Amino acid sequence: MKYKLIISCVFPPEPTVSGQVMYDVATELAQKGQVVVISPKPTRPQNFKFDTSVQLDKNFRHIITDSFTSPKMSLFGRYKESVSFGRWCEDYISKNHQDIEMVYMNAWPLFSQEAVIRASKKYNLPCVTIIQDIYPESLTNKLPFGKSLIHSLLLRKDKYILKNSDKVLCISDNMKSYLAKTRKLPLSHFEVIVNWQNEDSFIKYRNSNSAGKQSGSPFTFMYLGNNGPVAGVEFLIASFAKAAIPNSRFLIAGSGSKTEDCKDLAKKLNASNVEFITVPEGKVPHTQDLADVMLLPVKKNGAYSSIPSKLPAYMFSAKPIIGSLDVDSDTAKAIISANAGLVVQPEDEQVLIEAMQKVAAWTEEERAIKGENGFRYAMDHFSKSGNLRKITGILLNLERK
């Protein structure tokens, strides 16, 4: 019996939103036919302790590759990882193409993606590609030299990948417009599907009698997510320390490669009210309920290509949000449209300090209203139920065609 092939570079038990999205899609599609999922062994985020005792509830076949992995950020390591995973998937498609009816791909850019597209095209298999970040721009913008040449070489690969995908799924309107313009492809070639959050766990917690923030505890700012090189958590720590808000604390929830650096900075600044906590599996709603305000930093020019997965999670917890990010980005527009908090220019310490002080001065009722505004907006735009219907509809329509 033919099956749909899902290729995903991240997958549970990795606590990544895009991995969970792929799991949700696989589970939904498997109710309508056979599904096989290919993913590398779990490595993201770096140093995360995966609970191997927890087994996924699966109605699909899951193949874990023995391809090379590089959780640590290095150009050569990530290049080798992408090539290795791509070759593994290309070889699998070559051997099993007669049983595959379509391919849905969330692979490492650009070499994994190119290999999968090449194999799909060779055997005339429909392929849908989801884009989580814009490459090569995300890479070449960080290079100290050789940007123009490397960008030109890698851009050819991206154009090949997108042009030969039967449909390209983007995670924001800005990403869709940018890719269509720069890759010279029609807008109809793209669809916008945001990286949703499963609202069920937030709603279940919301409807429970579980206690969150205890009465009398300090006014709490929180960042929850991967604390990596691009997260900007050190900027948050410095701004919070200088804001000097009485009876307040800053909770950094999660892990990542920059955690030790952040601890060193907090110690250097004598910021004893900066605390680091872990997030138990499945306890994001419980953890975020400890906060009065959620902090969402994105470095300058970094918010144009996508909406961070933190945003819907923050909104589903009904907490007001301070976004330090590009003010004309989709993320900023969502916070402003929802009236769910404040948006300030990215990497501007003084305006972030003022925003922190302003929100801390809001009444509890004002914060509750902002939080509820965000919750309703997330239900309308970022829910699993609505977006999952949309994405499975696209895939099934392509299959029928």
Structure tokens at 29: 């599609």
pLDDT over 90 for what percent of the chain?
70
Q: Does residue 211 have a pLDDT over 60?
A: no
In Å, how far are 181, 219, 223, 321 from 293, measured between CA atoms? 37, 9, 9, 6
Q: Out of 82-91, 132-141, 376-385, which region has the weakest mean confidence (pLDDT)?
A: 132-141
Q: Does residue 146 have a pLDDT over 80?
A: no
- When pLDDT is cut at 50, 70 and 90, the band that residue 379 belongs to is very high
Q: Out of 148-157, 226-235, 245-254, which region has the weakest mean confidence (pLDDT)?
A: 226-235
| Dihedral over alpha carbons 239, 240, 245, 251 (to 10 degrees) | 170
Q: Does residue 182 have a pLDDT over 90?
A: yes
pLDDT confidence of residue 157? 96
Question: Domain residues of the chain, as ranges?
Answer: 3-196+383-400, 199-381
pTM value? 0.75
- When pLDDT is cut at 50, 70 and 90, the band that residue 276 belongs to is very high
Q: Out of 67-81, 113-127, 142-156, 244-258, which region has the weakest mean confidence (pLDDT)?
A: 142-156
pLDDT confidence of residue 213? 60
pLDDT confidence of residue 401? 63
Q: What is the pLDDT of residues 23-65, one digit of tens each?
A: 999 999 999 899 999 999 999 988 888 876 667 789 999 999 9
Instruction: Tell me the residue ranges of DSSP E strands in 19-77.
Output: 34-39, 61-64
- Max avg pLDDT among 103-117, 216-230, 250-264: 103-117
Identify the residue with better confidence: 66 or 308.
Answer: 66
* Strands 100-106 and 3-8, bridge-based pairing: parallel
For residue 99, give every residue at least 6 positions away whose Cβ sits within 8 Å of its Cβ, in sequence order, or none: 1, 2, 3
Q: Does residue 362 have a pLDDT over 60?
A: yes
pLDDT confidence of residue 218? 95
Q: Does residue 164 have a pLDDT over 60?
A: yes
Identify the residue with better confidence: 178 or 308.
Answer: 178
What are the DSSP calls for 130-188, one per residue?
E-SS-TTHHHHTT-SS-HHHHHHHHHHHHHHHHHTSSEEEESSHHHHHHHHHHTT--GG
For the chain, the average pLDDT equals: 92
199-381 and 3-196+383-400 share a CATH fold: yes
Q: Does residue 297 have a pLDDT over 60?
A: yes
Contact (Cβ atoms closer than 8 angstroms) between residue 184 and residue 207: no
Domain formed by 199-381, architecture = 3-Layer(aba) Sandwich (3.40)
Q: Does residue 355 have a pLDDT over 90?
A: yes
Round to whole Å and give the CA distance between 373 and 383: 15
Crossing angle of helices 259-268/233-243, nearest 10°? 20
pLDDT confidence of residue 212? 57
CATH superfamily of 3-196+383-400: Glycogen Phosphorylase B; (3.40.50.2000)
